[in-house]
Amino acid sequence: MASPKQTGLTLAIIGCGVMCSSILEGVLASTTKQESAGTEPLISNFVATVQSSGSVERLKKQFPSRLKVIQGGNVQAMEEADIIMLGCKPYMAQAVLGAPGVREALRGKFLISVLVGTTPDKLHDCIYANKANNLSGPDDFCYIRRALPNLAASLGESATVAQASGSAAEQGKPLPEHFQAAMDFIFTSIGKIHIVPGDLYDIAGILSGPGAVFTTVAVDGMMDGAVQQGLKRIEAKKILAQALRGLAAILEDGQHPAVLRESASSPRGVTIEGLLSLEEDRVRHAYSKATIRATERSLNM
Ligand SMILES: NC(=O)c1ccc[n+]([C@@H]2O[C@H](COP(=O)([O-])OP(=O)(O)OC[C@H]3O[C@@H](n4cnc5c(N)ncnc54)[C@H](OP(=O)(O)O)[C@@H]3O)[C@@H](O)[C@H]2O)c1
């Protein structure tokens, strides 16, 4: 079969580990779907960099076609790309973005970071803080946006939170349409994207990542109760997983949780008995407190 026409944008992933491999898998699947439907794909060329030869082999095995893998060649990958996704560990950002040639390679391009706890301003400083350069105005800089996929990215069910604005140095310049479309395309390939203002990024990110993890405490508690009442744990987990899938669909359909609780509670019924027990133990307060505490921690990192 002839290889697809190489017409769309080029995406470079700098540090293609666990998270970015999940993203890449979703994006490649969406690109293939577009091509099969006869639509010109938004992104058609893919480059990835990693540090070790073991990871080069892993990527070649996981993505045998379409992906060009470069060991350590970050600047080369940035030069070849229109959109650059940063996927290394947060502590590596300075070394990767501060390397010679990066600021020139990124000029006018679009940098998307998935690094936890790293603001667009911090990323901007990693690239441009050294004043010994001739870049001075917003037109010289790259556009920077951050996005936080969650642990369900590999299953195509991420609730990705993205920041609407870039670094202060961009002076409020809007993201060009083709870059915005590419960002939407990338993250809808692995689930849903929620774009929020910068000051709400941390709380939205807490709901998407740790928030989903917090609910495992409730799941575990109910599983213990089910086992005490004679059900096998594995059976209890299956039932709860499907019940939660249904709950997610109901909430997405617009139902308010309080209304749902009320309509599920019959007089002298079992649901109200359990709900009152939860209120006695201040579970609702415990969850709002955990959400606030986690957000405060995130803001102070
Ligand atoms: N995992 C999650 O659930 C999750 C969720 C949200 C956000 N994130 C963010 O995603 C980022 C990546 O996390 P991860 O779990 O995917 O980590 P990871 O698997 O360790 O991936 C990091 C990748 O960076 C590569 N790398 C290291 N130094 C490099 C360099 N100098 N140049 C280019 N590539 C380099 C590594 O290559 P080698 O393998 O060859 O060392 C590795 O492939 C983190 O910033 C994290 O905050 C992760």
281 found inside a domain: yes
Residue 265: predicted pLDDT = 98
Which ligand 1 atom lies nearest to the CA of residue 115? 45
274-288 residues labelled b (16+ CB within 10 A) or e (exposed): ebeeeeeeeeeeeee
Same-domain check for residues 89 and 220: no
Same-domain check for residues 22 and 153: yes
- What is the best residue among 55, 88, 193 to mutate for testing ligand 1's pocket, by most ligand atoms within 8 Å of CB? 88
203 found inside a domain: no
Which CATH number is 142's domain given? 3.40.50.720
Same-domain check for residues 150 and 85: yes
Residue 297: predicted pLDDT = 94
166 is in an annotated binding site: no
Same-domain check for residues 193 and 219: no
Q: Of 146, 165, 197, which closes a domain?
A: 197
Same-domain check for residues 291 and 190: no
- What is the best residue among 19, 123, 206 to mutate for testing ligand 1's pocket, by most ligand atoms within 8 Å of CB? 19
Q: How does DSSP classify residue 269?
A: -
Same-domain check for residues 99 and 228: no
Q: Whose CA is nearest to atom 34 of ligand 1?
A: 15
Considering its fold, how many domains does the chain have in total? 2
Same-domain check for residues 232 and 137: no
115 CA distance to ligand 1 centroid (A)? 8
Same-domain check for residues 160 and 26: yes
3 found inside a domain: no
The one-letter amino acid code at 52 reads S
Same-domain check for residues 149 and 258: no
For residue 19, give its domain range.
9-197
Which CATH number is 221's domain given? 1.10.3730.10
Residue 5: predicted pLDDT = 43
Measured from CB, residues less than 6 Å from any atom of ligand 1 are 14-20, 49-52, 55, 74, 87-90, 92, 96, 114-116, 148-149, 151
- What are the Cα distances from residue 101, in Å, to 45, 73, 108, 127? 22, 11, 14, 10
Q: What does residue 209 show for φ and ψ, rounded to 5 degrees?
A: -95, -85
Same-domain check for residues 190 and 214: no
Helix (H) or strand (E) segment spanning residue 167: none
Residue 73: predicted pLDDT = 95
Helix (H) or strand (E) segment spanning residue 294: helix 283-299
Same-domain check for residues 239 and 264: yes
188 CA distance to ligand 1 centroid (A)? 21
Q: Of 149, 174, 197, which closes a domain?
A: 197
15 found inside a domain: yes
47 is in an annotated binding site: no
271 found inside a domain: yes
Helix (H) or strand (E) segment spanning residue 108: none
10 CA distance to ligand 1 centroid (A)? 20
18 is in an annotated binding site: yes
Same-domain check for residues 220 and 292: yes
Q: Whose CA is nearest to atom 3 of ligand 1?
A: 151
Q: Of 197, 229, 254, which closes a domain?
A: 197
262 found inside a domain: yes
Half-sphere exposure of residue 44: CA atoms within 13 angstroms, side-chain side: 12
72 found inside a domain: yes
Distance between CA atoms of residues 16 and 37, nearest Å: 28
Residue ranges of the chain with per-residue pLDDT less than 50 = 1-6
113 CA distance to ligand 1 centroid (A)? 11
**DSSP calls for 185-247:** HHHHTTEEEEEE-GGGHHHHHHHHTHHHHHHHHHHHHHHHHHHHTT--HHHHHHHHHHHHHHH
73 is in an annotated binding site: no
33 found inside a domain: yes
Residue 110: predicted pLDDT = 97
